[in-house]
Structure 1
Amino acid sequence: MKLKLIVSFFLLTAGFAAFSQGKQTAPGVEKGLIKVSVMYPYAEGKTFNMEYYETKHMPMVAGFLGANLVKYTIEKGLSSGIPNQPLPFMAIGTFYVKSLSDYQAAIAPNRDAIRADFPNYTNISPVILVSEVVK
């Protein structure tokens, strides 16, 4: 038991040290990738169906992106970083893609279908941020 604990501690410490020195990144997230964050701000009276978003909407959009898509993530907002402050976002969907121009070319002809699906899971207008992964 003691040896297991020591080995676990060593692996955890070594992993943290490598991560903090920039030698390790999250799986599938590399410098230079384009990150498209689709953020759904919290507001009183707004709704969000996470099950639909996870099982229908995000897979649909991911399908439009094809081989350009490296990975996507879905986050459910839990709280603000400041105690007793409102939740900033109810959810955030993120696509990591290789090429911004290929992303835009894939989304453009499907924009109406994507927007038409919004009422199936939310009454929130998303805020979209396109960025480049630098580390």
Structure 2
Amino acid sequence: MIRLNILYPNTPGTRFDIDYYLATHMPMAKRLFGDVLKEVTLEYGMAGVEPGSPPAYIMSCHMRFESIEAFMDAWSQIGEQLGGDIPNYTDAAPLIQFSRIVPFD
């Protein structure tokens, strides 16, 4: 299993429409990916480590897939539509990373 991590940096002046993201973009992502998407977790930034400091990221999206290849196969068909929706909710340039899920007890 792999996880696709999408992090939206919280830089001064960044626009992020959480309502649109939750009501429109993420339901679209789930619908377009279909069964290829095994799980999705969203995290909305609250604060940084220092008291009163802003979060480093406005939003973090973590999507689980069987493999990078499974993601890439789906993305080749839906990427233009899903990626084209990004300007509707943010002007942030997301940081994107694939990670291998490591079991730990």
Q: Aligning the two structures, in what range does the TM-score lie when normalised by the shorter sequence?
A: 0.7 to 0.9
Q: Which has the higher helix share?
A: 1
Matched, 1:67 2:35: yes
Q: Does 1:96 align with 2:64?
A: yes
The percent identity for this pair of structures is 28
Counterpart contact for 2:3–2:65, Cα < 8 Å: yes
The structure whose RCO (Cα within 8 Å, separation 6+) is larger is 2
CA-based RMSD of the aligned residues comes to: 1.4
Letter in 2 for 1:109: Q
Counterpart residue number, 1:56: 24
Q: How many residues align?
A: 103
> TM-score if structure 1 supplies the norm length?
0.70
* CA distance in structure 1 between the aligned counterparts of 2:98 and 2:50, rounded to whole angstroms: 25
User: 1 or 2, which has the higher strand percentage?
Assistant: 2
Shift of 1:47: 1.2
The structure with the largest alpha-carbon Rg is 1
| Consecutive unaligned residues in structure 2, runs of 5 or more | none
Distance in 1 between residues matched to 2:70 and 2:34, nearest whole Å? 10
User: In 2, Cα distance between the equivalents of 1:107 and 1:55?
Assistant: 21
Alignment of 1:1-135 (within 5 A): 33-135=1-103
CA separation in 1, counterparts of 2:22 and 2:41? Answer: 9
Partner of 1:5: none
Relative to the length of structure 2, the TM-score reads 0.87
Instruction: List gaps (5 residues or longer) in structure 1.
Output: 1-32
Of stretches 122-131 and 76-85 in structure 1, the one that deviates more from structure 2 is: 76-85
| Greater alpha carbon shift after TM alignment, 125-134 vs 53-62 | 53-62
* Distance (Å, rounded) in 2 between the aligned partners of 1:65 and 1:99: 13
> Counterpart of 1:79 in 2: which secondary structure?
coil
Deviations 1:53-75 (A, max 9, x none): 11211121222222222111111
